[in-house]
Each structure stands twice: as structure tokens, then as C-alpha cells.
Amino acid sequence: MLVQPIDYFLVAWFVLALASTLYVGLDQYRNNPEPVVMKWGFILVTLYMGPLGLLLYVLADKEPRPGEHEVFTRPLWKQGVGSTIHCVAGDATGIILAAVVTATLGLPMWLDLIVEYLAGFAFGLFIFQSLFMKSMMGGSYWENVKKSFLPEFISMNFMMAGMAPVMSFLMMGRDMRAMEPTELLFWGVMSLGVIAGFVLAYPANVWLVAHGLKHGLMTERALPAAKRQHAQMQMQQANARGHGHREHGHDMASRKGNGGHQMRSDATTPQIAALGVVSLIALGIGMAAPANWLNLRLSARDVGGVIMPQGMIMDRDTPADAMRDMAAADPRLVTASYDLAAKGDRDLPFRMENGVKVFELRASVIRWQILPDVTVDAYAYNGQIPGPRIHIRQGDRVRINVTNALPEEATVHWHGLILPNQMDGPAEITQAPIEPGQTYSYEFTATQHGTYFYHPHAKPDRTQALGLYGALIIDPANPADEVAADHDYVIELQEWLVREGLTYPSMPMDGGMPNFFTINGKAYPSTDTIRMKVGETLKVRFIGTNNGFIHPMHIHGGPFEVVARDGETISATARFLADTVNVGPGQRYDVVWTARRPGKWLIHCHIPHHTTNNNAEEKGGGGLMVVIEVT
């Protein structure tokens, strides 16, 4: 599933990469006169680098006209390209294979980089250089290992110095799908890493070719028997005299059946040593420097391919739990979608079993529309935001069966209720978390009455912020204890963070600040309109289902009377008039407002930003606004 804009770019990139690789492969085997190892080198590099590999092939190696390959590839910069191709094709293959294995095994990033380096160096030296090029280099396999070790070591160091920081910073950046081999982004990062490695390794390879330490591009043509014997005789004579012909990788020994590609280096020991030391320094910086900014102790299993919000500050001490907590809801896990007409806070039906009211709650991932053009990927009870209203009477015995269909653990806490400790809901304290796929039954007797709510107590900063909450209204056993009104309206508050099509749990920290706000799952102007007549009364039950912010809730058109707080009815003599109450997380206020004059009167949060949608107003406001229309 394509989740982010980068995914569409990557699809296009890899389509081009495959097309480029197909062209290079076909052209190499049909038209280009060079050794098989170089054919495969360009094929692999084009697979890894896409159109850039094709560009290198066409500019540096593809024979422009029959018989011109030797002359066309002779310039040193092209020979350097060929030498770097040797390095990248072998080393990158080992690195990529190791990256897949280490991610699958769940190794931490620091160990991942070391294993990748060793695997890349081993594959490049023992397989691609010493084995695949044995027929061209001449001598035994182990002689070739010995000859290839130092130039391969220098070249690999520079290449990994380029790849390592690219992989570290991109794999452990905002979008950690890059750590999962099953994700397209992983392969995108690998491709970019190979490109960076090629760029950093290229200058060293030019020098290595220029001084006879590495092969560059070569030409291999099938010669008639007489010419092949003549070439062999010339080579033998040249070897007997002690001086072969060398032209940056092109020589008489580059033809099939010639007895080997002989090279003699004019590089001094201090030069080689200096280049080797510099390559080690570059490798050390590339491998170790990212640890100053990133937590390289984490693995793909620790972070699970999560996507973090923009602006979240991650450093070398940020734990995986924090990253998973702030991560976006995975849109690929959405099980149902609901349009703007869908409503939350609907009464939850029950069945009677031996005098017990039995309710069913199921938490799952849904897509919920809060505005005509805005949806959130949310966690919801029974496909509703807010979750269904549990409406019972004081003295009822209830059982709520909670099924967890989320990708993470859950519990339910019955906020403000007096009940048995094992029914209270805190994960790891009064109960084991409800794991995905499990069901847990809560059972208690309602001894209180008033306005309450339920919400998770397993990672609530994430799960509640993504939509897990619902009203719990308990009528008094004695109807006379209820503060009566002509209309009764519940207001459940919530903050949302929606960016680039993803929904993150909003929280008061860097990267977590909300940009949308809802009342009962909708943002103004898609919230309800409450209709009344002059003289009628309205009981508003403000419930602080909001997760991390305080909302001063104000009603226009005159003061209201505060009649209950946190589920407790205030005695008649202690009630007071106000026009604003600060509803903090977990708090509840019951207020009674009288419709004194006709017109449209607002209920809204008095923080102006909270009455906008993504910081913009629409039809006079947004977010936490409800209209009371009085006639």
C-alpha cells in the first residue's frame, strides 16, 4: 500500500531502474565487447542506481561504433568509472544482502553496519574480485586475493563511508519503514546509499587505476586462432623482458585466451599507506558519526516500521517506546471507513444474563471523517468516535466484554467509578494488558450516579489520543436526585494531529501539537446544531476526553449554572453561575443553560486556535464549536 508521497516516487524510480537494467543487460550481451564480470558489474550497478547506472554505462562504457571500444574507454575518468563499478557491484551486493539478514534477525543498527561492512568487503574481495576476475588477472585464486586485498580494502572503506551515514540517517529518520526489507522505502534508501558510496569511492578508484593497483574497463574480443597465438607469444616475450603493456586497464592481455591481465604499479608505499589511512578515517567518520544524533542501539524489530510526526526531536537517547508511542496510525490496518454522516456516542445496546447487563466493546482501527475533506485514521470502540455511550442506572450490575482488535495492547479504565480493584483497568498494575485478539470481561455494580467516561489505561497517550474514549452516563436510582433540564447534550472533546494523510496521536510535546479539534468526533462546521425554544433549559455534560490540553468551554447568551463536577452533584446551595469552565483531561462538568433570547448561540473553547481547522477558519470558525439555535 502506498502510504506517503515518497512511495509514488519510489515506484516510478524502480520502474525506471528495471527498464534501465534491462537495456544495459541486453546491450551488454548483444553489442558490448568486454569481459563477463564487467557486463554483470554494470547490470548490478544499474539495478542499484537506476537511470544513473544507465548514464554511466552510456557515457563511459557502451561501444559507440563497432571496433571503437578500446579507444572510447581509454580516458582515465572512464577507467575510474570501471574500477568503481568493480567495487560497487561486489561490495554493494554483499552490503544489501547483509542488510536484509540483519534486519530480519533484529540486530541493532550499530551491529548492522559492522556486519554489512564485513559482508560487503568479503563479497567484493573473495567473490567479485578474486573469483570472477581470476581468468583475466591470471595466477591462482589466493594469489589474486593477495593482490586484490589492499586496493579492495581502500575502495570498500570509501564506499562504506558514503553508504553508512545515508543508511543511518534515512533508516532512523521520521519514516522507519526504511528499516524493513519488506517496504519499498528500504530499497530506496539502499539505492541512495549505493549512489553516495559510488560518489565517495570514485576519486580513490581513479587514483588506483592510474597507478596500476586496480583494473579499469577492459575489452574482450574473440580472436582468430592465429592472432590469438600471436598475442600469447607477444605477452610471453613481454613477461620475459619484465615489462607488460599497461594503459589504465587496456593492454594486450585484455583479449580472450591471452593468459591474464598483467598490471604493474608505480605507486610508492607512503602513497598507498596515506590513502589507506585516509580511507580508514573516512570509514570511521561514516560509521560512528551518526551515533552522535541517532540511537543506533535500536533495530528494525524495536521500531517496527513506524512513521514519526514532523518536528519530533529524536536523539541518541530516544527509546523505541517513545517512537512507537508517537507514530502514525498505520493506514494499512484500517478495517472500516465511515463518512461524515456517521455519528459517535450512540447508546450501546445490552443483553440481560442472570440479572446482569452485558455490553460488548470492540476496539479496532477505522477511518473516520471529521470534516468534508478531512479524515483521521483512528482507534475506535465499535466503529464510533466517540465510542458508544454506556447508559445505565445506579445499582445496576454490569459486565462489559472488551475485545482488542488493535495492533497493540489495550485495557479499559472506568474513570471516577468506585469498583473492585481488579476491574479498574491500569495495565501491569491491576491486570495484564489485553493483547491483540484477546477479550477481557469487566464486571461491577454501579454504586454512583452522574457523568463519567471510559478510556484505555495501556499507553493512553497514544490509544486515547487516537480515539479510544466514550461516555458513561449513570442515572440516579432516585429520579429526584437528577438535576432536570429540557434537553440533555454530551460534549466529548478531542485533539487530532493530521499531516500528509497520516494521523498521529497529539500530545503537548515537540512534533505532537494538534491541528484539528473535535466535539463528539466532528469539527465545526460539521458539528451538531442544538435546537431549542426560548425559555427551555439545556444540560450540557462537558467530558474531558481530551488527552493533553485544557479547554476553557464558554457558552454565549448568558451564564449557566454549574450543577455537578466530576460526577458529583453539587448541593443546591453550593451551585454557582459561570460562563466558562476549564475542562482539563479527565474532568467533567454538568451545567444548565437557559435559552433567554432567540438566535444562534455558540458553545466553544475560548482558546482561538482550538476553534480553527488546521489553523484556518471556515464559516466563522472551526474545531471546538457547537451552535445552539433558539427560536
pLDDT in tens, 547-602: 989 999 999 999 999 999 999 999 999 999 999 999 999 999 999 999 999 999 99
Q: Which three cell numbers stand for residue 546?
A: 481530551
pLDDT tens-digit profile of 369-391?
Answer: 999 999 999 999 999 999 999 99
Contacts 24+ apart (CB under 8 A), 126-134: 127/90, 127/94, 128/37, 128/41, 128/86, 128/89, 128/90, 128/91, 128/93, 129/86, 129/90, 132/36, 132/37, 132/40, 132/90, 133/35, 133/37, 133/86, 133/215
Q: What is the pLDDT of residue 146?
A: 81
Q: Is the peptide bond before 386 cis (omega within 30 degrees of 0)?
A: yes
Domain boundaries, the chain: 5-63+70-218+272-303, 333-481, 494-630
Q: Which fold has domain 333-481?
A: Immunoglobulin-like (2.60.40)
- Degrees, nearest 5: CA angle 18-22-27: 150
Q: How far is CA 79 from CA 73, 205, 207, 210, 220, in A?
A: 7, 9, 10, 8, 15
Mean pLDDT, range 40-45, rounded to an integer: 95
pLDDT at 250 over 60: no
pLDDT-derived band of residue 37, with 50, 70 and 90 as boundaries?
Answer: confident
Number of alpha carbons in the 13 Å side-chain half-sphere of residue 523: 32
pLDDT-derived band of residue 344, with 50, 70 and 90 as boundaries?
Answer: very high
- Degrees, nearest 5: CA angle 323-299-161: 110
Q: What is the average pLDDT value for the chain, to the nearest integer?
A: 91
Phi, psi of 524 (to 5 degrees): -60, 140
Q: What is the pLDDT of residue 155?
A: 94
Same fold, 333-481 and 494-630: yes
Q: What is the pLDDT of residue 384?
A: 97
Contact 474, 394 (CB under 8 A): yes
pLDDT-derived band of residue 628, with 50, 70 and 90 as boundaries?
Answer: very high
- Our separate counts of H helices and E strands in the chain read 14, 23
Mean pLDDT, range 506-523, rounded to an integer: 95
If you compute the radius of gyration of the chain from its CA atoms, what whole number of angstroms results? 35
Q: What is the pLDDT of residue 249?
A: 45
In the three-class reduction of DSSP (H, G, I as helix; E, B as strand; rest coil), residue 465 is classed as coil
pLDDT at 285 over 90: yes
Q: What is the pLDDT of residue 39?
A: 93
Q: Is the peptide bond before 319 cis (omega within 30 degrees of 0)?
A: no
Give pTM, 2 decimals: 0.86
In the three-class reduction of DSSP (H, G, I as helix; E, B as strand; rest coil), residue 442 is classed as strand
Sign, CA torsion 455/456/460/464: negative
Q: Which CATH architecture has domain 494-630?
A: Sandwich (2.60)
Which residues fall within 8 angstroms of residue 206, CB to CB, at 6 or more apart?
76, 77, 79, 80, 83
> Range with the lowest mean pLDDT among 72-81, 222-231, 242-251?
242-251
Sign, CA torsion 235/237/242/245: negative
pLDDT-derived band of residue 257, with 50, 70 and 90 as boundaries?
Answer: very low
pLDDT-derived band of residue 145, with 50, 70 and 90 as boundaries?
Answer: confident
> Range with the lowest mean pLDDT among 50-64, 220-234, 364-378, 456-470?
220-234
Q: What is the pLDDT of residue 242?
A: 41
> Range with the lowest mean pLDDT among 91-95, 356-360, 445-449?
91-95
Q: What is the pLDDT of residue 493?
A: 98
> Alpha helix (H) ranges present in 32-131?
36-49, 51-56, 69-72, 76-105, 109-122
Q: What is the pLDDT of residue 517?
A: 98
Q: Which three cell numbers stand for residue 325?
A: 508511542
Contact 443, 356 (CB under 8 A): yes
Please tell me the distance from the alpha carbon of residue 206 to that of residue 56, in angstroms, as a whole number: 15
More confident of the two residues 242 and 99: 99
pLDDT tens-digit profile of 67-100?
Answer: 999 999 999 999 999 999 988 999 999 999 999 9
Mean pLDDT, range 279-303, rounded to an integer: 95
Please tell me the distance from the alpha carbon of residue 117 to that of residue 287, in angstroms, as a whole number: 10
Mean pLDDT, range 150-168, rounded to an integer: 95
pLDDT at 255 over 70: no
Burial class (CB in 10 A: 0-12, 13-18, 19+), 59: exposed
Amino acid present at 120: G
If you average pLDDT over each of 82-91, 254-263, 472-481, which comes out highest? Answer: 472-481
Burial class (CB in 10 A: 0-12, 13-18, 19+), 173: middle
455, 458, 446, 441: which is closest to 417 by C-alpha? 446
Q: Which three cell numbers stand for residue 248?
A: 589504465
pLDDT at 542 over 60: yes
